[in-house]
Amino acid sequence: MLHLAKILPALVLPPGLIILLLLLSIVFRRRALALISLVLLWLSSTSLASDPLMRAAEGWAVQQPPSSAPQADAIVVLSGMLRSPAGPSGQDEWADGVDRFEAGVALAKAGKAPLVVFTGGWLPWHPDARPEGDVLRERAIERGVGRERILVTGTVRNTDEEARAVAALLRGREGSGRAPSVVLVTSAFHMRRSALLFSRAGLSVTPFPVDFQTSSAPFSFMDMLPRAGSIQNTETALREFCGYLYYRLVRTN
């Protein structure tokens, strides 16, 4: 099921959809399909289209300082920041979204919660990789966060599993019967779906979005030129819309 969730969107989102249209234009000899694919390629690879889509995925949120966050039972930092490079060193590197880790550490040092929870992100097609939460715990300790304040969930493969694992971990410690409160830290484009799932898991959620993918620069001619980063933002935003709608309309439990 996890593999299908990763593969199926690739067939209907850029660039998968563009490739499919080009293949159909060859098979059925329809120039219109080739033209549609070229227009779609141009639009999806320019910030003219990708920036509004990404800002919508981010919920039009804006960056906030750690001091703006309320007190909570725990700061929760979601996985998705590390990669295991080739070579014998065994040292994980930052891939993307390092702002999640930095914000979690900053919130912890600001005293916004007694606990910091890292999720044990792990994917079956990287079986030898360490769960991400274990690595982040070590790095947070190096940054001055007390070892006794840090919790790590078991291995989780997606946001739904992260939410359930964190809820089970905190409810087991809380023992008061009330919903544990969390400051949820993840990339801004990922926040809407994450907050929905963590709320459904029985947690009181305060979003703290980071890792914004667009800037406040005014429109210019450069926004009409194709860039690899723009097509990535387009696909990321559309993937998040699909994921949110799936959990909102289909997965209701």
Q: Are residues 105 and 33 in the same domain?
A: no
In a domain, 16, yes or no: yes
CATH code of the domain containing 155: 3.40.50.620
**Do 53 and 80 belong together in one domain?**
no
Cα separation of 234 and 2, whole Å?
22
Which residue has 């947690």 as its token pair? 203
* Range(s) of the domain holding residue 97: 66-210
Question: Does residue 90 surpass a pLDDT of 80?
Answer: no
Amino acid making up residue 234 = T
203, part of any domain: yes
Q: Is residue 217 part of a domain?
A: no
Instruction: Check whether residue 78 and residue 193 sit in a common domain.
Output: yes
Output the 3-class SS for 112-126.
CCCEEEEEEECCCCC
Residue 41 lies in a domain: yes
Same domain, 181 and 161: yes
Residue 128 lies in a domain: yes
Whether residues 186 and 230 share a domain: the answer is: no
Q: Are residues 46 and 70 in the same domain?
A: no
- Retrieve residue 95's tokens: 């891939």
Please check whether residue 156 lies inside any domain of the structure.
yes
Same domain, yes or no: 77 and 126: yes
Under the banding of pLDDT at 50, 70 and 90, the label for residue 8 is: low
Clarify whether residues 244 and 162 are in a common domain. Answer: no
pTM above 0.75, yes or no: yes
Please state, as a whole number, how many other Cβ atoms lie within 10 Å of the Cβ of residue 204: 13
What does the alpha-carbon distance between residue 133 and residue 24 come to, in Å, rounded to a whole number?
44
Co-location of 168 and 99 in the same domain? yes
CA 86 distance to own-chain centroid:
24
Whether 215 maps to a domain, the answer reads: no
Give 252's contacts (C-beta < 8 A, 6+ positions apart): none
110 and 183 co-located in one domain = yes
Q: What is the number of structural domains in the chain?
A: 2
Query: Can you tell me the distance from the alpha carbon of 188 to that of 83, in angstroms, rounded to the nearest whole number?
Result: 20
CA-closest candidate to residue 117, choices 53, 178, 173, 197: 173
Tens digits of per-residue pLDDT, 16-67? 899 999 999 999 999 999 999 999 999 999 999 999 999 999 999 999 999 9
Over residues 219-228, the pLDDT tens digits come to: 787 888 999 9
What are the pLDDT digits (tens) for 128-165?
788 999 999 999 999 999 999 999 999 999 999 999 99
Could you tell me if 42 and 73 lie in one domain?
Answer: no
